[in-house]
Structure 1
Amino acid sequence: MQVLRAVVGTGSVTAAAARLGYTPSAVSQQIAALEKEAGTELLERVGRGVRPTAAGVLLTEHADAIARRVAEAETALADLLAGRTGRLSVRYFATAGAALVAPAVARLRALHPGVQVELRLADTRDPLPDVREGRADLALVVGRPQTAGQDGVRLLRLLDDPYLAVLPKGHPLAARRSVDLAELAGEPWVGSEWPGPCLDAQLAACEAAGFRPRFVVDSEDYATAQGFVAAGLGVTLIPRLGLGGRHPEVAVRRLRSPEPARTISVALRATAPPQPALASFVEALREAAQTGAGAAG
């Protein structure tokens, strides 16, 4: 149909052949094949040139529309491949939102203003299946699942987020700048984590220090845990990124020997094709992690 469009546009087979880079014979064969398929004549001779029949006009109009759509598709594809347009679906957990995701989204909008970012909180379930099955382009996760690299997902480490000791303001250890983890062995503990990799990081550090914490309250929420500590019910550990708002009646101290930490990583689909916007977002997350770590230090 694009050959017919060229013939109608130039008014002759010879001129159309020159425009398309074909021989006049090849153009005539293409028109003959199209007429056979259409079941009617598409061109009629007028002097030394040709003009379209009613059927030829109809098909030429459709050919024009197809050419415009193809050009639009090519432009849209070029924009997508260059990162000027597109969509990123991101899964994240709450304490990573303000410190990591928010500045990364702002950076992405500056670099790729035409890319839409869908943000979805994934606190209550494992986001790795969404990444593996293509429902999400990226997820922020805690820990290093052993099956991730073998199950279609690759992990890029962003940072280690250290846990801090949160004590009642009048606690004897609150007068110190840092606390050995083993010094909290005999204390009642307030739980601050859901069962999972964050709690596992706490328990592994306590085990390395030679004890298992005795939990007297399960809060599974950082703000609520601080409230219980402020009331004198026990001590707790909260990661640095989770201490956005500190209760006025608690003291926060660094831990040592060992220093518990949770590893925060970016999960990506192992087979995902390169995407400029996705690469920019990952780099923006790295910059946010470095900025946060530097500010914390």
Structure 2
Amino acid sequence: MATIEEVETHHDPIDRLRATMCATRVSFEWFGTRKSLTRDQKAQAAESFGAEGEFLSAGKKLLDTGHPRFRAVSAVRNQVRKYWTSVSLPFPEPGIRLLRQDALNTFQEQMHRFTEELAEAVAELDEQYLSLKAAARERLGSLFNDDDYPTTLVGLFEVTWEFPSIEPPNYLRQLNPELYEQECQRVQSRFEEAVRLAEDAFLDELSKLVSHLTDRLSGQADGRPKVFRDSAIGNLHEFFERFRSLNVRSNEQLDALVSQCQNIVEGIQPQELRKRDALRQQVASDLSGVQAALDGLLVDRPRRQIIRTPK
């Protein structure tokens, strides 16, 4: 059986993606903090506007989601989404992304850590639940309904993940060979699209990062060089690492531009760019060349095709 390294070396982009990736789905169960008004409540609200209740859409906010404890719970969900996106590639089926098979254990461990963080954040939120509920009672007035509120928030915020099969089921080969072949073609087309989606995602991200840094380095504000954060360069380095890990090598031009951009900023510290005007101008000029080439790829994107390696 070939190793992932061997597959990456000898297969074309589509086969490489299919052989080295697994499908992942991350789902959230989240307590809904908004609720539609009842028919009578909408009619009452509509009356104040001289409108008819059936033509009015209205809702109420059950809890203050701006509370620090609630924001802490929401922050975990945002972290999960950001992490999942950073270690995976898009796939043309809703809710599914592709994860490297050799990153599966790391992914599992990190997701378990997130579930622990979420449970802790929810427990701390639940400690403030009664006071949040009391504040809602005061704010909502006659719209408050005790039946809208569970006895506890524990167990109402969860993150789960799974690894769904996206390959044709083997039993179809025996039961219906023609249908099995159709499914094989459908899956193949999905992976062809996945390669294009991955390439486009990398292209868009690199273009935004380079454009932002170039503007910061070359632009002026009130006659002075624009201020830029360390993250303007740090985000580029994070991109290079993610590209190295997830790139399916479907576009030689993009690969070359990523290498060129990496060479431009390699070893350069943000503070150097702030102190040395000549270096700042040189880096800005070099990045402008990369940006021009990226713009060309963006324009040509609809006409690009994936070239498969002959077998």
Higher strand share: 1
Higher helix share: 2
Larger Rg over CA atoms: 1
TM-score by structure 2 length? 0.20
TM-score by structure 1 length? 0.21
